[in-house]
């Protein structure tokens, strides 16, 4: 299993070391790898999305950054999230993003989306900062939303409770989350927290 994972851009030994250093168990990484191996066998990309989405929504307990990391806003790598077994909305979205890249979902089809969530439904006036992961089946297609709050993967048109602010992946940043838009000038360097996360993830084995 470990040799197979390396061919998909993962250094599993380094990931295990990170998880264990933070007090987690190697078994967490093994079970995650088992899920990824299963997802890679699925021809339908939506099935791969479903497996990854349900895996993290089921296994990770929602907790705020101050409780987990002692910081007001910390973006955890997938290894850190697996080690702690807890995380906030950013950590769920990030773990799903890296996992889907490693089950052959192209980076061009994935964006992390910073949104304002209407607490209490689509007509509510109470807004809260939130992050989800969006999957774009085609460059001009409506995205599907992977969320830690609602495990069912729904098209964006059925998530009227979410108001996109901006979106990004490891290739660029976009104003809003519309398909087909051109990324903003400056690239990921404009979002220092994301750039730092990508560098830490590479050091931990997510190449």
Which helix or strand (DSSP H or E) is residue 207 part of? Answer: none
Tell me, what's the pLDDT at 2? 36
The Cα–Cα gap between 50 and 46 comes to: 6
Q: What's the pLDDT tens digit per position in 46-86?
A: 999 999 999 999 999 999 999 999 999 999 999 999 999 99
Tell me, what's the pLDDT at 122? 58
For 8, 90, 104, 189, the CA distances from 152, given in Å and listed in that order, are: 27, 18, 21, 33
Average pLDDT on 2-23 reads 76
Q: Which residues pair with 118 in a beta bridge?
A: 127
Q: What's the pLDDT tens digit per position in 106-119?
A: 999 999 999 999 87
Tell me, what's the pLDDT at 188? 80
Average pLDDT on 111-138 reads 88
Fold (CATH) for 2-203: C8orf32 fold (3.10.620)
Query: pLDDT-derived band of residue 203, with 50, 70 and 90 as boundaries?
Result: very high
Query: Cα 85 from chain centroid?
Result: 15
């Amino acid at each position: 299993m470990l040799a197979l994972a390396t061919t998909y851009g993962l250094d599993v030994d380094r990931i295990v070391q990170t998880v264990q250093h933070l007090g987690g168990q190697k078994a967490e990484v093994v079970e995650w790898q088992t899920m990824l191996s299963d997802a890679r066998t699925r021809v339908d990309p939506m099935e791969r999305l479903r497996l990854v989405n349900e895996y993290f929504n089921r296994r990770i307990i929602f907790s705020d950054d101050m409780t987990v990391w002692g910081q007001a806003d910390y973006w955890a790598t997938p290894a850190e999230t697996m080690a702690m077994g807890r995380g906030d909305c950013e950590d769920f979205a990030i773990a799903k993003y890296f996992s889907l890249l490693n089950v052959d979902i192209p980076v061009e089809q994935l964006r992390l989306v910073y949104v304002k969530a209407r607490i209490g439904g689509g007509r509510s006036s109470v807004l809260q900062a939130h992050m989800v992961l969006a999957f774009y089946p085609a460059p001009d297609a409506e995205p599907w939303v992977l969320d830690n709050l609602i495990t069912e993967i729904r098209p964006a048109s059925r998530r009227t409770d979410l108001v996109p602010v901006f979106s990004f992946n490891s290739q660029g940043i976009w104003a809003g989350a519309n398909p087909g838009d051109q990324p903003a000038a400056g690239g990921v360097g404009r979002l220092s927290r994301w750039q730092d996360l990508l560098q830490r993830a590479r050091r931990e084995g997510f190449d």
